Amino acid sequence: DSGVTQTPKHLITATGQRVTLRCSPRSGDLSVYWYQQSLDQGLQFLIQYYNGEERAKGNILERFSAQQFPDLHSELNLSSLELGDSALYFCASSQTPGLGNTIYFGEGSWLTVV
Amino acid sequence: GIQVEQSPPDLILQEGANSTLRCNFSDSVNNLQWFHQNPWGQLINLFYIPSGTKQNGRLSATTVATERYSLLYISSSQTTDSGVYFCAVPQGGSEKLVFGKGTKLTVNP
């Protein structure tokens, strides 16, 4: 158990819908990351937050947004869903931003868009 | 951006065999992590190893940062070692991890 908690674990929804994925980082971790894993793109970085502020952005679509709340949990919002958004979405956390930090991943949220 | 290449892409072993997985990266790094993704999709940290050698039970890893590669050794493999092994390095001076495509390991009883 990495200590990073993600909900829901599985989600099936229709095209055009909106979903929210939730993440609680490890106790004491201030930095949260979101990654997407799909069959064709592999594991890709989406976005990072540190202590409530956006710190880095990757290949995140405009239909997607995220935030980190004062209690440090984070949510990833996916809207106007398309079939191609079906993927495994990971949240990860680390103590502070910095290249010397190990990043721990949650178990992921499986999203299926039908 | 930085490129990460892993080899081999697929590896099939009999239980008890040893194996070496390789990760090459295109730029100097000061952070490298190895992960194991089990058949249920869970990504598990194996090593944080920017340089040198570390061991954890039957697994060990070596990173030669000056030559831009890392090796993951699995000894006396077990069926529970099956899954995909990823290495990941940061993009430039950021904390964004760039993952290789992984090595899919199948250990047969």
pLDDT in tens, B47-67: 999 999 999 999 999 999 999
Query: Given a cut of 70, is residue A67 above it in pLDDT?
Result: yes
The reply to whether A11 touches chain B by the CB within 8 Å rule is: no
Q: Are B95 and A31 in contact (CB under 8 A)?
A: yes
| B85: nearest Cα among B106, B69, B58 | B106
In this predicted structure, the answer to whether residue A100 has a pLDDT above a threshold of 70 is: no
Residues of A in contact with B41 (CB under 8 A): 88, 107-108, 110
| Pick from A2, A42, A58: CB nearest B96 | A58
Q: Which of B41, B97, B101 sits opposite A103 (nearest CB)?
A: B97
Distance, in Å, from the CA atom of B84 to the CA atom of B37, rounded to the nearest integer, reads: 5
pLDDT over 80 at A65, yes or no: yes
Query: Cβ contacts of residue A10 below 8 Å, gap of 6+?
Result: A109, A110, A112
Q: Are B71 and B18 in contact (CB under 8 A)?
A: no
Q: What percent of chain A has pLDDT over 90?
A: 83
Residue A99 has pLDDT above 80, yes or no: no
Task: Say if residues A3 and A23 touch (Cβ distance below 8 Å).
Answer: no
Helix (H) or strand (E) holding B104: strand B103-108
- The answer to whether the CB atoms of B43 and A108 lie below 8 A apart is yes
Q: Which residues contact A41 (CB under 8 A, 6 or more apart)?
A: none
Residues in chain A with CB shorter than 8 Å from the CB of B35 are 105
Give the mean pLDDT of A4-24: 97
Q: For chain B, what is the mean pLDDT?
A: 94
